[in-house]
């Protein structure tokens, strides 16, 4: 079933919080298949003063993190639907490519789809766009694990 998620639903599926949550909204989610989410890139992001002071741009590794968080949200949603108590953790990023800079004021659109799932491993392909133009893409690898109390 395709649906959008509200902010409180995102917070239930992702453990990340400000300033390290890079999914602001979920526009479409098809359980176990794909997700379309977005990150509003504010001029007040804590990474801009250091990357780079005269010409701020979002670090590529954080674009990959945004894609990984969207993938994790999709996986956690599927695991909850299966009544699983497992969580997913980032195992790797493959074939990352950066095409254009992401600047203050941009809205980063995150489109992630499941490529393969063979428990405990998940493979996703993610594409990040701004105004319909591809800015980055990568394959995201996640592993299912038991939740550990910290």
SS3 assignment, position 13: helix
Residue 88, classified by CB atoms within 10 Å of its CB into exposed (0-12), middle (13-18) or buried (19+), is: buried
Torsion, Cα 94 23 32 117, to 10 degrees, reads 20
Catalytic residue of the set 8, 16, 27, 51: 51
DSSP annotation of 50 reads: G
Q: What b/e readout covers 49-68, taking b as 16+ CB neighbours within 10 angstroms?
A: eeeeeeebbbbbebbbbbbb
Torsion, Cα 65 19 52 90, to 10 degrees, reads -20
CA distance 147 to 105: 36
77: annotated active-site residue = no
First-to-final CA distance of the chain: 34
| Residues identified as active-site | 51
């Amino acid at each position: 079933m395709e649906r959008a998620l509200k902010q409180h639903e995102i917070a239930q599926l992702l453990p990340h919080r400000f300033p390290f949550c890079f999914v602001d909204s979920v526009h479409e989610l098809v359980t176990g298949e794909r997700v379309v989410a977005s990150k509003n890139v504010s001029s007040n992001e804590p990474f801009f003063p250091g990357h780079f002071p005269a010409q701020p741009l979002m670090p590529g590794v954080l674009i990959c993190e945004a894609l990984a968080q969207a993938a994790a949200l999709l996986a956690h949603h599927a695991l909850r639907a299966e009544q699983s108590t497992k969580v997913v953790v980032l195992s790797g990023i493959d074939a990352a490519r950066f095409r254009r800079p992401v600047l203050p004021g941009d809205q980063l659109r995150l489109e992630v789809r499941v490529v393969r799932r063979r428990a405990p491993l998940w493979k996703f392909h993610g594409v990040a766009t701004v105004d319909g133009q591809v800015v980055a893409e990568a394959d995201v690898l996640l592993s299912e694990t038991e939740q550990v109390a910290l």
